[in-house]
Structure 1
Amino acid sequence: MTIGHHLDALHGLPAYTFPGAGHKPRPVEPDAVAWRVTGSVYDRGENWTDAFARFCAAVDTTRVRSLIVGAWEEAYDTDSSAVIEALTAARDRFPALRALFVGDMAAEECEISWINQTDVTPLLAAYPRLEELGVRGGSGLRFPALSHGALRSLVIETGGLPAEVVRGVGGSDLPALVHLDLWLGTPEYGGDSAPADLEPILSGARLPNLRRLALRNSEMQDAVAAAVASAPVVARLEVLDLSLGVLTDEGAAALLDGQPLTHLGKLDLHHHYLSEPLVERVRRTLEPAGVEVDLDRGHAEEDAEDDGTVWRYVAVGE
């Protein structure tokens, strides 16, 4: 499966695409929408930095609260450095900015695993009051450990998340972070992390306010579930999300045999490879305690070879 749509909201605000060159934006209050700025993808039209400059000239950016970076030209071959530089240079023009998403591209613009990123942490240095940061695309992505006192939500969507990034997130001091969502992906697309790389996150030591944790879209979802089963951070979670990956009976059983999960408000396991007995065991264990459990199998389907080899896939790959 690929991503076939753009974000429809960010920071609780509906997404609105800033019109292309030659088109006037409809009257919109600057703080009423999540502005999506995009450049031309395949032709020689307007590049992203020019579209952003036009946006800054047309909109009262001092009131903009939420900003979505759409496609930049040839994202499958050009990284987001120019985008990051333009955003950091414009820091003083966006005093109200609280939410930023970089790489909102659907598959026809650029497949998730082909989106070239770079070090995105200069954005957090430039915007110390930013509360939400989202990134799509793991190729070339870097996230060295940092400290940020305001960030409440960090989302990184990839077909393969580099271990270096996982370790950078785990080594960061993010005392206000409530929501962390990492798409770990597969080795084929650069997802080379191991359960040990997750330990700083699972300890919760640098994430005292974490309440919603998603470690998903992973080929090693069984190993992730086993690590989560004894993780100290779980006791303070309200939502645990292990969806979109290759979760089998082995991982689900390890999760259920670990620490109690009955304090959760929700456990999301959708897109899974569980047998019906394990599905029923999860339901019997958690639903009577009031836990909302998402066990939608979705498009998870196995492919079996004649020699008995079984292939299972994450939900979002290429």
Structure 2
Amino acid sequence: MSFDEHLTEFAGLPVVAFTPDTEPDEPLPPAGEAAWAVRGDWNDEPYPRLFERFMAAVDTTRVTALVIGFWGWDDAAGLGAATLTAAADRFPNLRALFLGDILDEEYHLSWIPHADITPLVEAFPRLERLEVRGGDGLELRAPRSDALKVLRFESGGLPSGVVRAVAAGDLPALEELDLWFGVRNYGGDATVDDLAPIFEGTRLPALRHLGLQNGEFQDDIAAALASAPVVARLESLALGMGMLSDRGAEALLSGQPLTHLERLDLGFHYLSEPMMERLRAALPGVEIDLDHPQGQPSEPWQPWQGFLFVQVTE
């Protein structure tokens, strides 16, 4: 998977870009009718200056959805989040934020320079949707929010500290959680043990969708979910994009019933044809995504790390 197009819609609103090419007298839509994307580029305008121009041109008190695009190279780690955090009082109605709408041609996914985003989360206690792309340098302390409903991390290497922070967070309204783990070579050092508080079902009481994807340890995740209390109240479960094999699928089929699910997303996987047929037969009322099969290695019950890869890394 590559990111070769910017977001065109976010939080139910059309995305309108504000870039270094945006002219001072350029007509803009009403502030509350767009998801505003503030995107830098390779020119000499620093991102904080671009953001100041955006705030001067748009009534930020009416902005409900914001997309933070390219903010600079290695020496700008965390600059996008820090710039917004410093201006939090200018965005009293912000409810949805995408941090890192950055294309491969601007910065590869696993190179996007982040820092600790905890101050950003704390600065917007009424935020209902937070999506973050990239993992390099990303840090997070256990978040607390009574408003957050959607939390998503797209990464080719999600640090274990971020995973543990999410698992330890106090997020009573959270309905959708997606974590892309990535690989160790790009900082994805989480393990299935880091997810234990989520599996136990005592946290995240409103959770209805759980996506644990793009990992090297998808089989271990599937085995843990086979008896995890959280599964019983899910409506959809996503375990694709990674090294899911017949071993993980067997664990799912041998565990607790999954027939209550509306959707099971296993797209991009290493399942055999017989296993895919077993899944379809066992879950006739469930919408199952089995797209993008990656074939079978020669010794299917051996450790496969030398043969397999996850969908998104660099």
TM-score, with structure 2 as normaliser:
0.94
Look up the SS of the partner of 2:76 in the other structure: coil
Q: Is the contact between residue 67 and residue 97 of structure 1 (CA under 8 Å) also seen in structure 2?
A: yes
Distance in structure 1 (CA, Å) of the matches to 2:202 and 2:55: 40
Residue 67 of structure 2: aligned partner: 68
Alignment of 1:293 with 2:288, yes or no, is yes
Structure 1 residue 29, shift from structure 2 partner: 1.5
Residue 18 of structure 1: aligned partner: 18
Residue 44 of structure 2: aligned partner: 45
Distance in structure 2 (CA, Å) of the matches to 1:155 and 1:249: 27
- Mapping of 1:74-223 within 5 angstroms? 74=73, 76-80=74-78, 82-223=79-220
Distance in structure 1 (CA, Å) of the matches to 2:33 and 2:268: 34
* Matched residue count: 309
2:258 to 256, 261, 268: 261
Residue 33 of structure 1: aligned partner: 34
Q: Is the contact between residue 302 and residue 311 of structure 1 (CA under 8 Å) also seen in structure 2?
A: no
Please tell me the residue identity of whatever aligns with 1:11: A
Please tell me the residue identity of whatever aligns with 1:270: G
Q: Is the contact between residue 301 and residue 312 of structure 1 (CA under 8 Å) also seen in structure 2?
A: no
Structure 1 residue 85, shift from structure 2 partner: 2.4
Residue 55 of structure 2: aligned partner: 56
Residue 307 of structure 2: aligned partner: 311
Gaps of 5+ in 1: none
Q: Is the contact between residue 204 and residue 210 of structure 1 (CA under 8 Å) also seen in structure 2?
A: no
Distance in structure 2 (CA, Å) of the matches to 1:136 and 1:164: 16
Alignment of 1:2 with 2:2, yes or no, is yes
Look up the SS of the partner of 1:85 in the other structure: helix
TM-score, with structure 1 as normaliser:
0.92
Look up the SS of the partner of 1:123 in the other structure: helix
Q: Deviations over 1:28-55 (max 9, x none)?
A: 12111111001123xx422221111100
Structure 1 residue 203, shift from structure 2 partner: 1.6
Distance in structure 1 (CA, Å) of the matches to 2:268 and 2:75: 31
Q: CA RMSD in A?
A: 1.8
List structure 1 runs of 4+ shifted beyond 6 angstroms.
302-305
Q: Is the contact between residue 272 and residue 295 of structure 2 (CA under 8 Å) also seen in structure 1?
A: no
| Identity, % of aligned positions | 51
Q: Is the contact between residue 246 and residue 272 of structure 2 (CA under 8 Å) also seen in structure 1?
A: yes
Structure 1 residue 302, shift from structure 2 partner: 6.4
Please tell me the residue identity of whatever aligns with 1:317: T
Q: Is the contact between residue 210 and residue 237 of structure 1 (CA under 8 Å) also seen in structure 2?
A: yes
Q: Deviations over 1:72-109 (max 9, x none)?
A: 111x45311x3222212211211110001111111111
Look up the SS of the partner of 1:135 in the other structure: strand
Structure 1 residue 7, shift from structure 2 partner: 2.0
Distance in structure 2 (CA, Å) of the matches to 1:22 and 1:86: 19
Gaps of 5+ in 2: none
Q: Deviations over 1:186-229 (max 9, x none)?
A: 11111111111110111222200000000001111111111111
Structure 1 residue 8, shift from structure 2 partner: 2.3
Please tell me the residue identity of whatever aligns with 1:35: W
